[in-house]
Structure 1
């Protein structure tokens, strides 16, 4: 059996099952939270270590990316080898445990669906508070439809970098490559903004995140279109049309692919103008407003996410099987 096929069966499948069962219990230590704390600790040190110029900030940000990849990717290699010395079963258990924590499907569902009860009951302030935990925009200005749309967009966009991308990198390189990817993804979410503070410091993180998600983003969009064709209440044809037409509308080369497919699948219009840090950011819309966004679309987006994850697993299993036959 090839290494990829063995990794799929012994690491990827158990990790996906654990994610579906456990999600992200807040009481458990989590590598992404460790990454966030490490980034926060290293950033001021690196800013002081390099000249306070645009070039110096870019170099400092690049050094942070390198350090994070080495600490968490290389650290995973060392951890697995040390565990392997004690017991191969221990190494396997550690790899599966940390691999499951790199997947976010269940957590995305739980956090996005937390918006539904207050939204459905008319508690707009409660719905705004719930959605503020999963989006970066200003939620105080959102009406009920805007809150539902923000939750749907979060599920659609994070289907790629929270579910499909980690699956692919875990499949290709096991826990070390998965950890290195997640470190870059976490960096992008913390410093990859075009704000005065991070415009130059976050360049390396943002660019590398774009490179790593380039293939997974497009694959996510295509598989989400296929998932829409299989799910009741969704339109695969409309999803494909929206994906093909709108997938390049965002400034980010990757963020609109799954979002455009989701908009078409549900028959709603996503994206558009939004406020971030008190500033209105104008964005093109994705999809067609066949009908208004409604609270039930949050659950529909979650089902699309799971369908896309399932199709990705089938694709990776097929690749592993094919390589095993060659």
Structure 2
């Protein structure tokens, strides 16, 4: 059975960040998240069906969906790495690095944000609303520039945990198999982890498991965002830290409020507020202090903070590798 040293895990994870910076999400072969998503839909169809189940039965079936998805993702990835490593260690390193990079989405998150920022800068609200609708669940047809900006900044901030810090942390702990298990957990939450009539019980286990896996990475992300704000002129690290303490617990998610509050505090803007989903208004916790109006420039600030977090993590990995080389 393969087993990588700390040096190898740190090196592969750093290389995966570099690949994502340069390449982003692969168009070919099929992205692992797409494969995982197809599995989830297939199993959901088998477990949910058209029969009427009690709440307890739905929760039990949801647990089966969650366990089968994360275990299969881990075991398939472990088998692929084991086979590649048996052929040649360098093939194992290459395969692991590539698959770790597919669990990270720094460039993909930036590209999605800039799809909105570019038309906003040109005053094209129609395209900005259309592209915002690709990345958020709320209604976007009537949103103005400050609200479009809020939607994108919230998405970027929240996903610094899901798309950067958490998968990299799990890659450091268990290589590509554990990183892919995390990505499967996050995909489950995004597909069935909703508090609605269909998924309130069936997706309960997936939502709670994702919360548990993100608990430590979310708090690490908060600290990293404060460090980024400290290093970047125009941002306030002190206000970012204060916003996390003051507002993060108001968010319905035990994790998402931390990065959103940190970004809001650093920028001096307010996030949260009134959202509309399918024509139904929903008031969300307001995070940060509205020291100035939101503008499309805040999207670029949020993306710069996203990349700043990835730079800090890459710097930490390089320092660790230098230490390993020095003591080894």
TM range (shorter): over 0.9
Is the Cα contact below 8 Å between 2:189 and 2:203 reproduced in 1?
yes
Q: Once structures 1 and 2 are overlaid, which stretch shifts more, 42-51 or 142-151?
A: 42-51
Is the Cα contact below 8 Å between 1:272 and 1:284 reproduced in 2?
yes
> Per the alignment, do residues 135 and 262 of structure 1 end up closer, same or farther by CA in structure 2, a change over 3 Å counting?
same
Q: CA deviation at 1:279?
A: 2.1
Which residue does 2:57 correspond to in 1? 56
Structure 1 CA distance, aligned partners of 2:240 and 2:101? Answer: 29
Structure 2 CA distance, aligned partners of 1:7 and 1:120? Answer: 41
Which residue does 2:137 correspond to in 1? 136
TM-score, normalising length: structure 2: 0.94
Structure 2 CA distance, aligned partners of 1:49 and 1:88? Answer: 48
Structure 2 CA distance, aligned partners of 1:123 and 1:323? Answer: 51
* CA shift digits 1:265-306 (9 cap, x unpaired): 111111112122332221110011111111111111011111
Alignment of 1:1-326 (within 5 A): 3-9=5-11, 11-48=12-49, 52-315=53-316
Q: CA deviation at 1:35?
A: 1.0
Instruction: Please give the secondary structure, in 2, of the residue aligned with 1:281.
Output: strand
> Per the alignment, do residues 54 and 321 of structure 1 end up closer, same or farther by CA in structure 2, a change over 3 Å counting?
farther
Instruction: Please give the secondary structure, in 2, of the residue aligned with 1:103.
Output: coil
Instruction: Please give the secondary structure, in 1, of the residue aligned with 2:83.
Output: helix
Q: CA deviation at 1:114?
A: 0.9
Unaligned runs of 5+ in 1: none
Is the Cα contact below 8 Å between 2:14 and 2:317 reproduced in 1?
no
> Per the alignment, do residues 50 and 209 of structure 1 end up closer, same or farther by CA in structure 2, a change over 3 Å counting?
farther
Structure 2 CA distance, aligned partners of 1:165 and 1:92? Answer: 21
Instruction: Please give the secondary structure, in 1, of the residue aligned with 2:249.
Output: coil
Q: Once structures 1 and 2 are overlaid, which stretch shifts more, 161-170 or 84-93?
A: 84-93
> Per the alignment, do residues 216 and 224 of structure 1 end up closer, same or farther by CA in structure 2, a change over 3 Å counting?
same
* CA shift digits 1:21-70 (9 cap, x unpaired): 00124344200111111111110101249971101111111101111112
Instruction: Please give the secondary structure, in 1, of the residue aligned with 2:250.
Output: coil
Is the Cα contact below 8 Å between 2:219 and 2:258 reproduced in 1?
yes
Q: CA deviation at 1:308?
A: 1.5
Q: How many equivalent pairs are there?
A: 324
TM-score, normalising length: structure 1: 0.94
Q: Once structures 1 and 2 are overlaid, which stretch shifts more, 275-284 or 92-101?
A: 275-284
Unaligned runs of 5+ in 2: none
Is the Cα contact below 8 Å between 2:153 and 2:298 reproduced in 1?
yes
Q: Once structures 1 and 2 are overlaid, which stretch shifts more, 57-66 or 136-145?
A: 136-145
* CA shift digits 1:221-267 (9 cap, x unpaired): 11101101101221111111112211111111001101100001111
Q: Once structures 1 and 2 are overlaid, which stretch shifts more, 170-179 or 44-53?
A: 44-53
Aligned-residue RMSD, C-alpha: 2.0
> Per the alignment, do residues 319 and 90 of structure 1 end up closer, same or farther by CA in structure 2, a change over 3 Å counting?
closer
> Per the alignment, do residues 143 and 293 of structure 1 end up closer, same or farther by CA in structure 2, a change over 3 Å counting?
same
Is the Cα contact below 8 Å between 2:78 and 2:177 reproduced in 1?
yes
Instruction: Please give the secondary structure, in 1, of the residue aligned with 2:276.
Output: strand
